[in-house]
Every structure is written in structure tokens, then in C-alpha cells.
Structure 1
Amino acid sequence: MDTYLETERLVLRRFTADDADLLIELDSDPAVMRYLSGGDPTPPEVIRERYLPNILAGYEKWNGDLGLFAAHEKHGGAFVGWFILRPAPEGALDEVELGYRLRQVAWGNGYATEGSRALLDKAFTELGVRVVWATTMSVNHGSRNIMAKLGMSLVDTYPTPSDVGVIEGAEHGGVRYEITKAQWERQATGAGSRRRRWRPAVA
């Protein structure tokens, strides 16, 4: 396993060319895709021919330091979904997006917060990142609560793009949250040693 980082309960690794079925299964759940496509699954051929090749190309572009990472439970190895830590297309390497997509069976376990917090720590201590940002739909209160729990602040709202299909709550637009390295350092200092709960992978 090409491990990227570990938390108390999760292992994040780089995807491989053999992982298309994991992504297809994840994107086939209407509940998972509720705020992304209105519940419609991502066509398998799109995942095999576009999404997965783009993920693998990202590792080459960013030397494996940034991108989309598969998450598995340490106990049993079950695939729980993925996390993302990468810049916008053609964006600066010190401004990166944080996000995740988890299988429904993994919801409610605190995995989204645990994995996201580990990625924030890695971004600000190892990768030279200055700002981490995240977006979601305004009505997606679950994700918004996690962003707030991570210490991220609401910095902007925006209308839903006109080319987006029928998605519940789309008329309320989206939101953008951010956290800077300075803000994270203040939180880390206040929380003491409890903040560093991830272990870097051995190269």
C-alpha cells in the first residue's frame, strides 16, 4: 500500500490504476451524491476514462504530495471513501482545497473530521501551504459543521452555476470556508500536543 498518512483509525493512500471499482461503488450511492449530482451516479466509463487517470496524473504533477487519497479503516481495511488536498487547476501550490467523499456506511463515525484534521496538519507542517479552503452547498449543514469544527471560517458565498442539474437546495448557492497557517498555528498552540494525532508515512 502506497501510504500517504495515518490517523488513529484511518490509513490514507494514493490510488492506483486498479481502483476504479472503488470509485464507481462510492459514486453509485444516491445519498453520497445528493449534494453533488442530485443523487445521480457518475457513469462508470467517466470514472475509468477521465476521473481515475486525472487522479493518477495529479500525483505526477505534485510529486505525490497533493491530490486525491483513498481512505481505509486501519482495523479490517475497509474502504471508507476519499479525501482531497490539492490546489485549484493552475492554482498556487500554497493555496489548496480540502474535501472528502465517504461511503454512507462510514458516516457518523467522525472519519471526515479525523481525516480532514490530519490533512490540515500535514499541509501546514510539511507542505508549505499558506491557506486551505473548502466549499460545499449552503444547505449541506453536515459538511459546514465539520468545517467549523476544524476551525475554518466562512469567507464567501456564491450562486450555484447555471449548468448544474437539479440538486436539492441549489437555489441557496454555495459557501466557501478557509483557514490560514497562522490561524491553524494559534489553534494548535492552544490545543497542545493533542493536535498532532497523525503519523507521516515512511517514504
Structure 2
Amino acid sequence: MKFNIETERLLLREMRGEDLEGMFELDSNPNVHRYLGNKPIKKIAEAQKVIEGVKQQYKERGIGRWSVINKETDEFMGWSGIRLNTEYNMNGFTKYYDVGYRLIERFWGNGYATESGKAAVQYAFHTMKLPALYATTEKNNRASHNALLKIGLHYVEDFYFEEEAMDLRWYKIENK
């Protein structure tokens, strides 16, 4: 599946094998995983498994997270985009589309999550014609909370996610 969405500073495209080193840098960083259950990966084979899992989502569900590429440097910065969640019962939902992002630490604080997230919401509503999108953050993740609000999602409520033993926040945006 081919994706190619451009924003002012970013290219959002399908994940590829060439993203492996960047994916390992992203998901092996404990700071990146601070609000994700503190489970950073330790081997590059685990990063390969993440990429293959996303590619499988493209095939099975028609959508999955996209690689975030810096248009100026062509550097892998992380991932962003839409995903059809069917793995978890999340706040009473078992099948829903969510928007999310995860960036390599050196790219934090520059508005890239917001920029890529807005493009993902536009794609979900204008191309996919979805009625709504959801998102979650760990309750204490203020940066992600703020990014979701800037993207246009609305905070709905806090809930406890038993599977990961985490206090999370639930967000929603409707296609109007």
C-alpha cells in the first residue's frame, strides 16, 4: 500500500525496510517509552517486527501508521497516522480508528506530532470518510495531551486500562 502525504515540513509515507535503524532508535529509547508502559525494545529484530506488523496492517486493514520523514533532510523521525484497532478493548471500544504518533526524542517540541496528526485527521475524514477518530494518552503525558488538543481532538475522560495496568485519557474527534 502506498501513502504519500506532504505537510509543510514532513512527508508521511508507508513504512519501509529502510526505516529499520530509525525505528530501532525510536523504540529502544527509554524516554520515548516513559508513558508507554516502559518497555523499550532491546534488539534490532524487534524493530523489524514492528515494521512488519504495520505492513501487515496495511494488507489486512487497509491502513496503518506511516513513517514521518523530514522533507528537508529525508531523515526518519518516527511514525504517525491512522490505525484500525482490533487488538484491545480500549475504554469499551473493541474496533475503532485511532490517530497516534511517536517521534524520536531529538524531534520533540517542534510541533511535528501536531503537524503530522492534523494531516492524519484530514486523511481520515476526507479520504477514508470516517465518522470519528479516537486517541489515548497516558494520564501524565502533558505533551501528548496538548498535541491531541491542537490536532482537534477533545478530551472525553480518564479510564484504567487493565491490560497494561495504566491510567489513560480518552479523546475523540468527529467528522462534521
Normalising by structure 2, we get a TM-score of: 0.86
Unmatched runs of 5 consecutive residues or more in structure 2: 88-93
| SS of match in other structure, 2:173 | strand
Pair 1:126–1:105, CA change in 2 (3 A): same
Q: Distance in 2 between matches of 1:21 and 1:42?
A: 12
Aligned to 1:97: 98
Alignment RMSD: 1.9
Q: Distance in 2 between matches of 1:24 and 1:139?
A: 25
**Alpha-carbon offset, residue 18 of structure 1:** 4.1
| 1:162-173 correspondence to structure 2 within 5 Å | 163-164=164-165, 170=166, 173=167
Q: Distance in 2 between matches of 1:55 and 1:10?
A: 20
The answer to whether the Cα contact below 8 Å between 2:61 and 2:84 also exists between their aligned partners in 1 is: no
Q: Distance in 2 between matches of 1:25 and 1:71?
A: 14
Aligned to 2:90: none
Q: Distance in 1 between matches of 2:142 and 2:119?
A: 21
Aligned to 1:53: 52
Write the letter of the residue equivalent to 2:83. R
Runs of 4+ in 1 over 4 A off after TM superposition: none
Residue 35, structure 1, aligned to residue 62, structure 2? no
Aligned to 2:170: 176
Deviations 1:93-152 (A, max 9, x none): xx4100000011111111111000011111111111111110011111111111112221
Write the letter of the residue equivalent to 1:75. E
Aligned to 1:71: 68
**Alpha-carbon offset, residue 54 of structure 1:** 1.3
Say which structure, 1 or 2, has more relative contact order (CA 8 Å, 6+ apart): 1
**Alpha-carbon offset, residue 161 of structure 1:** 2.3
Q: Distance in 2 between matches of 1:177 and 1:135?
A: 6
Q: Distance in 2 between matches of 1:160 and 1:125?
A: 31
Deviations 1:4-27 (A, max 9, x none): 211000001111234332211111
Residue 15, structure 1, aligned to residue 9, structure 2? no
Identity percentage of aligned residues: 31
**Alpha-carbon offset, residue 30 of structure 1:** 1.6
The answer to whether the Cα contact below 8 Å between 1:17 and 1:56 also exists between their aligned partners in 2 is: no
Write the letter of the residue equivalent to 1:86. R
Normalising by structure 1, we get a TM-score of: 0.75
Write the letter of the residue equivalent to 1:79. F
**Alpha-carbon offset, residue 162 of structure 1:** 5.7
| SS of match in other structure, 1:35 | coil
Deviations 1:151-173 (A, max 9, x none): 21122321142654xxxxx5xx1
**Alpha-carbon offset, residue 3 of structure 1:** 4.4
Aligned to 2:82: 85
